[in-house]
A and B are shown apart, each in its own frame.
Chain A
């Protein structure tokens, strides 16, 4: 049977080409993601195999996910502890280390060095180079405030050489130092590839920590000592304020951290893979259905000469096996290319990402083949089963027809699913927040399946309506009837486009609602503030910025907001410290309960959405965990969800009391009445020359900046759309091309009685456009409904405004129509080239 299948695939090469391409694209993304991830982790393992301290002691932070955008003081270990650990039996020596995020390196042009989104690290020069996460490759160790070191990548990118003056802004202050050391990372830890500035230890403590202390202590053990035993002994000395980990644990943790950083790309690739495979499956289902229909006489002949049902089914499945195997092989090759491209792209960014030879593991190969062949077989199975049911006498009949199951059962199941989806939607809309959104996702998936099931019925009625604007000329009527004649085929082809467009239009509605919500949130939340001061990436900045702005004539007030990460129970929250009076004007807070002014230390304001999640109300006490420990707070007031203050807010003294550092996250500036913002702005900017990373923007510019990340998401959506359209085009081309083969005689007849080539082309175009429009419109309706419902349930969580970008969606439909025209090009060329005589003679 496999031999027959192989022969058949070879004989109908052309008809299987698009099937194979679909499998190839899907598997290409899967293997690309797997190869890239494997390569990255191999590279990381290779680097981790290098030197590290035998045992590492780090301070316990209540917050495992403490990020660089927090203005909390990093938790530290004292020098005393280092001495105590050094005295532990079995310890050969200790090396207190200082490594933290927060500083910013300026280029020679005074602008902040571009870090491609990575945090910049600051470090104290190591006492023991053997255990340091970086090593000196040129120059000498920096000494005092006037000297510093830079990592090689940053120095090269900014054109700094030894002896140059380099300006660095730390959370504490801005300093200028002479470059004396060029370093390179030796470990792939969190700091690998990221910009790194180094100082001598004492200077580092002052500039980076604002006081004495170490962020970790590296421990070397004496040769022959059992590291587990020594670890236990150190744990006894360090107590509960420190974590003691062996080298193996450290590298595992570090690798996980990096995997998290770059895992995003794998996720995106896998998302593309899922879409490609899912949409591709429809294409395969269609191809096999058509091929079996075309060859029904041949297959019935096999039955007539003694092949069993199972053998006929097997022949068709064998074809699926061959296609799946070829497609998976090509997909693996494509995936290798994708991974190589990603690696090249990273290297071009000069991110010093550790690299290795592309890793194509047996797991990748096995997964890809299993997935590729499995999906192809599954998609070919319905057609194969029907082929097996062909009665042998069909071989004798002229009009051998496949037994077609009634679509009634299918439509009833589909209708039931739609009903279920409607119920899920109804339930979800009445819930709120993330759980409801997840439920809606489920509802949307059921809707899609339901529409796929009912679409043969839908297409029967929808095609006529959709195509009515195209008139009633003969080619149009013929094309439309062709789209209507096999509702299963038309709807399966359209379904591929529908699913893609549902996904994309849903995301577009959510993203543009998010944009509109940002705008409205900012307009609503920023009341009387004329200027908003922030730093890149939401990083905190020196308190001096506020003082300098306050000196500018025409400025009436500057209110500050500080932020850090915290936890209530298991829920991660933001914690904010606000100047007295901030919520009375500069930020418009709608008080829903309690009060927001005159806060005492220990009192907090909570936004309604957070209060609901954490089950808090005015007067209720709760435990907030920060880097300095657990603190008891009482709710003084509840405010409406506020874009500028989506955090548990405390007064500034209260904030400092629970471990908040004295660096600001945002400043809200009010300009005196009668003074124009435009005249004040240059003065303010001039005052902040030493803080180039700090941005001063009016409300409009600030809102624009805040919309930036959403645009990035829209970019990914655009790429998804492009891929989806590509595969949908393949699907339509496939259906049309197979249709042309199937209707060779009909086309021959039409040509004989006088249909010219433009009319033939028009006929196929109309069929193609009908399929494309059907898919696009169904997808659009489902997607918009989904997006709008998501907005409904997330109204309190950042999606306050519903914005349906009508223009973009109309363009999407027009693009779908254009796709229809495009997809018909190749099939109609083939059809036009058919020799009329041969066509009418074809059996």
Chain B
């Protein structure tokens, strides 16, 4: 089963001499219930790919499919509602609305959709992030790691088709990173969630089932069942290839 699929996706900025191809003819499938990491050096187009997959950005060429919906055909309003109902997000920083409590942040996508939360599911998600009695605290009163776990819970609460995480551990220490990544890993294993994560950290990538490597907007290589070592090896290999 494929959750998200791209067909010949390209993203081009500018024109003529200053033309930049951020993405060039990327075709890739993301399996349902799988944890995929996207890696690559700065400017490789990994964030652009994530934004195109998540309906935050529009590719200049090709198609993006979420299940049987072609994102590239949807208008602004439909995309917004699709993000709300079928996609979850975890950003690198500034994930939470400062005026809302942790719990209110978690249920925000449902509130925006005017939907009642599924009580059982909500309890399960909340228990998993292990915030305990801090649920009614404002984000400013939570640590960076706690904030990211709240963000993860929010991403899961609407049982989205896929969760996109953009460098979710970029601002965290190693312990908090392990918490967050462990949580994403469990959501895939235990709840059958689909997760796509952009990262530059081999250790983070090792939590995934599969790693995609991007360079210069092209899909260079991929690695199934990665470990931190194998990811690091692959990165060195690609660097050498690049240099040579």
Contact = CB atoms under 8 A, between A and B. Distances in A.
A751 B89 CA distance: 11
A89 B210 CA distance: 123
B83 A759 contact: no
B18 interface: no
A475 B113 CA distance: 11
Interface in A739-762: 745-746, 749-757, 759
Given A753-B83, A754-B84, A759-B112, A840 B94 contact: yes
A750 B97 contact: yes
A836 B112 contact: no
B178 to A, nearest CB: 22
Interface in A663-706: none
Given A481-B99, A752-B83, A837-B57, A474 B108 contact: yes
Contact of B98 (A746, A755, A756, A837): A746
A745 B94 contact: yes
A759 B109 CA distance: 12
B116 to A, nearest CB: 13
Given A475-B112, A478-B97, 10 more contacts: A473-B114, A477-B100, A484-B99, A745-B94, A750-B97, A754-B85, A754-B109, A754-B112, A754-B113, A756-B81
Nearest to A481: B99
11 contacts: A474-B112, A481-B99, A482-B99, A753-B83, A754-B80, A754-B81, A754-B112, A756-B81, A756-B112, A757-B76, A759-B112
A157 interface: no
Contacts of A474: 108, 111-112
B161 to A, nearest CB: 13
The A interface, classified by DSSP as helix, strand, loop or mixed, is helix
Interface residues of A, number: 24
B46 interface: no
B100 A481 contact: yes
A515 B89 CA distance: 64
B154 interface: yes
B56 interface: yes
B80 to A, nearest CB: 5
B68 to A, nearest CB: 20
Contacts of A484: 99
Interface string B160-174: 000000000000000
A754 B108 CA distance: 9
Given A478-B97, A482-B99, A837-B56, A756 B111 contact: no
A477 B110 CA distance: 14
Interface in A792-843: 836-837, 840
A837 B84 CA distance: 16
Nearest to A836: B56
Contact of B94 (A481, A749, A753): A749
Contacts of A755: 80, 84, 112
B77 interface: yes
Nearest to B54: A752
A13 interface: no
A426 to B, nearest CB: 41
A478 B100 contact: yes
A753 B154 contact: yes
A746 B100 CA distance: 12
Most A-side CB within 10 Å, residue of B91, B100, B154: B91
Pick the most buried of B84, B99, B113, B154: most chain A CB atoms within 10 A of its CB.
B99
B56 A485 contact: no
Contacts of A481: 99-100
Interface in A424-481: 473-475, 477-478, 481
Interface string A479-492: 00110110000000
A750 B89 CA distance: 11
Contact of B89 (A477, A752, A756): A752
B101 to A, nearest CB: 10
Contacts of A752: 56, 83, 89, 91
B51 interface: yes
B98 A473 contact: no
